[in-house]
Structures are given as C-alpha cells and as structure tokens.
Structure 1
Amino acid sequence: IVRTIFAQPTQEAAKQQLSVVVEQLQEKFPKAMNVLERAEEDVLAYMAFPKEHWKQICSTNPLERLNRELRRRFDVVGIFPNRESVVRLGGAILQEQSDEWVVARRYFSRESMAKLTGNDEQQLLAPTSVLHK
C-alpha cells in the first residue's frame, strides 16, 4: 500500500495518497506512520524535479557502483602507509568517476536539464569545459 504513494503522477497527488495511506495504516503501525508523516517533504522531494529525473533521483545505483569501485581499488592496495595516501587514491578515483560522468555518460539529458535550470537548451548543448588540467 505504501508503494501507491510513489506511483502517483504528481507531487500533490502523492501527498494526498500519503495521507490516505497514513490514515489506513495508523492503527496497525502507529510509529511507522508517524515517521512517514513527519518525513513527507523529504520522501516526496524528488517530485519537485522534472519527471524525466525521478527514476535517477530515486535510484542509489550510481552511489552503490561508486562505493564498489572505491572498495575494489582500495582492496588492490591493501595496506596504506598513511592517511594522505588513502585520501590521494580516493580523490583520484572520485575525479576519474566525475570525468567519466561528465564526458562519457550523461546521467540526465541536456533537454531535461534545460527544464530544470530554465537555461536555453542551446546553452546546455555547448561543450562542457573540464575544470582541471
């Protein structure tokens, strides 16, 4: 029944459905419904973005993938001589992942970002400059 909240087409409809769900489950799960009711704004915040972004915002796949890559690369090294070497390797991996997302994979389309930022789509289509050299 909780999933029906997230199946709604708009944020307003989802808020209404959340109220219905809380009302229906209040007697059976009072603590959980209290938490859900208090977290309404946070739980439905993704719906304030363009609909094209909802799937990506709700997913933790990119974060899980990044954590797996960090773990894999740290396991290769095994033991680090000092804290700075951990930070240096971690920073390099994060920079590498950032470059990959900027250049190779776009997480959000330029068209959907234009809806979000209000910028002209042509401005978003301009080549992305790399911040580091």
Structure 2
Amino acid sequence: MCPSARGTAALSSVFAQESAGEILSRWDDLAASLAERFPKADELMNGAREDVLAFRHFPQHHWRNPNLLGRVKEEIKRRTRFVGIFPNDDAITRLVGAVLLEQNEHWQLEGRRMFSAESMAAIPELKNLPVLQDSLG
C-alpha cells in the first residue's frame, strides 16, 4: 500500500468510530503517530481538531449519510481537480466554502430536508456545546 493510501485509511478510521470518545481517541492517536515524522501535521491536526470533529456533537444518526456526503465530496473533488494548483490555503478555503454555500442554497430552494425537524431539534445549541463553554469559560 502506498504511503498516501495508508494516510487516507488512517484518517478514515477516525470517522468510522462509533462514539464521540472513540473518535477523539483515534484522532489523538493519529496526531501522535505523525508528530515525530511530521511535526507540522501534528500541529495542524491539533489546531483543526474541534472544527473537523464538530459532527460528533450532532445526534449519531446524522453522522453518516453516505449519499449526502458522497455527493458533496465528489463536487468538491471535481472543482479542486479543475483548478489543479492553488496559490495558498485561503484559495482552497474560498473554493470549498463556495461549493458548500452553493449546495446549501440548492437544498433551500428545493425545499429538501435531509433530516427530519425532530432530528434537527436534537442538535444542541451553540452555547451548549462543551468546546464553546471551555473557550468562553
């Protein structure tokens, strides 16, 4: 297996966990395993941890919707491949943000719901998220 495939598999294993605690543990293990060889990767992973793993605060049945996630990921992949080389990280962020905003507008205009109103009501308010409480505390 090539190194990038191993890295992809290792990162994918984070999202395959069944509980929020297991997700955090696997993320931390992966960051620690990269720390010696790739100190910048460890720093990046620690800085991005809460943003990347924010989904764990949602109800578990929201964690995986392969159809929904697959379509969005494919569109991001298609657009980034078209551009090819980005001048900086901000350019990538703008492109991915635009794709996500476009997708959101599409869903709003179609009036589609990926999750029921009851399911969405189970999502904690921002002020009640443990991460936010820790940073404000």
Please tell me the root mean square deviation across aligned C-alpha atoms, in Å. Answer: 3.3
**Deviation of residue 97 (structure 1)?**
5.2
Counterpart in the other structure of 2:117: 110
- Determine which structure has greater relative contact order: mean sequence separation of CA pairs < 8 Å that are 6+ residues apart, divided by chain length: 2
Counterpart in the other structure of 2:45: 36
Partners of 1:20 and 1:113 in 2: how far apart? 31
Q: Give the TM-score of the pair, scaled to structure 2.
A: 0.50
Q: Give the TM-score of the pair, scaled to structure 1.
A: 0.51
Partners of 1:42 and 1:97 in 2: how far apart? 23
Letter in 1 for 2:109: D
1:55 is aligned, of 40, 59, 64, to 64
Report how many residues are paired: 87
**Greater share of helix:** 2
Q: Which aligned pairs between 1:56-95 and structure 2 lie closer than 5 A?
A: 56=65, 59=69, 61-62=71-72, 64=75, 94=105
**Deviation of residue 48 (structure 1)?**
0.3
Partners of 2:32 and 2:41 in 1: how far apart? 12
Partners of 2:70 and 2:45 in 1: how far apart? 20
Letter in 2 for 1:3: S
1:98 equivalent to 2:105? Answer: no
Change over 3 Å in CA distance of 1:106–1:47 after alignment to 2: same
Counterpart in the other structure of 2:54: 45
1:18 equivalent to 2:13? Answer: no
Change over 3 Å in CA distance of 1:97–1:12 after alignment to 2: closer
Change over 3 Å in CA distance of 1:18–1:97 after alignment to 2: closer
Unaligned 5+ residue runs, structure 1? 69-93, 119-133
Change over 3 Å in CA distance of 1:117–1:28 after alignment to 2: closer
Letter in 2 for 1:35: L
Q: Which has the larger radius of gyration?
A: 1
